[in-house]
Chains A and B, each alone.
Chain A
Amino acid sequence: MTNEEIRDFIQTAIAENRVMLFMKGTPEQPACGFSMRTSAALNALGVQYAALDILPDPRIRQELSAISNWPTIPQLFVDGELVGGCDIVTEMYESGELAQRVGVEQPQHEPEPPTAEAPQSAPLGVENRLS
């Protein structure tokens, strides 16, 4: 797969999935604490999202960061726009802004920080055709 094909694949994933998370590992098995916290925030909101593991090919991360102008993983996109990484997503979860941004109700039992447990909806996986 060429770098251009990887870039196209990433851009398509961002365009076609309203809530798109690029992470290390998967929502079920995150491979990094930052990715875990970010997917846990989405799980806690019960929003459906697509997730792509960037680890299988180092070029995924290179191309993604070139597109987003953002150096770290995870990266959350909503409606085609970069929302942020773990720090921003966690802050926005706690303030209720994330719920607003993705268009769901903020859970009532707050302000417990999200954990990786108890996802409320099965995350929608993007088939990883890059590996």
Chain B
Amino acid sequence: MPTATELKERIESALPGSEANVEDLTGGGDHFRAEIVSDRFAGLSRIEQHRLVYDVFGTEIGGPIHALSLKTTTPEGQR
């Protein structure tokens, strides 16, 4: 069962220089909320930003990770 800490580490290692705050919404290890700040998001649409994060987990999204709610921003606070 994935933990919030594990998700945070995987996001931050996949997107070097990013900072991720991950919360386990239910405590059940399957519904998470992640707020991620990364300069990799600059110039990307929201869809593209979220895809970068979803791609870290591949088919685990919808599998062991039932839900991963995302908020993505750049260090400058841009979308």
Contact = CB atoms under 8 A, between A and B. Distances in A.
Interface residues of A, number: 16
B46 A88 contact: yes
Contact of A72 (B47, B61, B71): B61
Contacts of A87: 50, 69-71
A69 B70 contact: no
Interface in B39-67: 46-47, 50-51, 54, 59, 61-62, 67
Given A82-B47, A88-B47, A88-B50, A71 B67 contact: no
B68 A72 contact: yes
A37 to B, nearest CB: 10
A70 B47 CA distance: 9
Contacts of A82: 47
B54 A71 contact: yes
Interface of B: 46-47, 50-51, 54, 59, 61-62, 67-71
Interface of A: 34, 61, 65, 69-72, 82-88, 91-92
- What 8 A-B pairs come out closest when comparing CB atoms? A71-B61, A88-B46, A87-B70, A71-B54, A71-B62, A87-B69, A84-B47, A84-B46
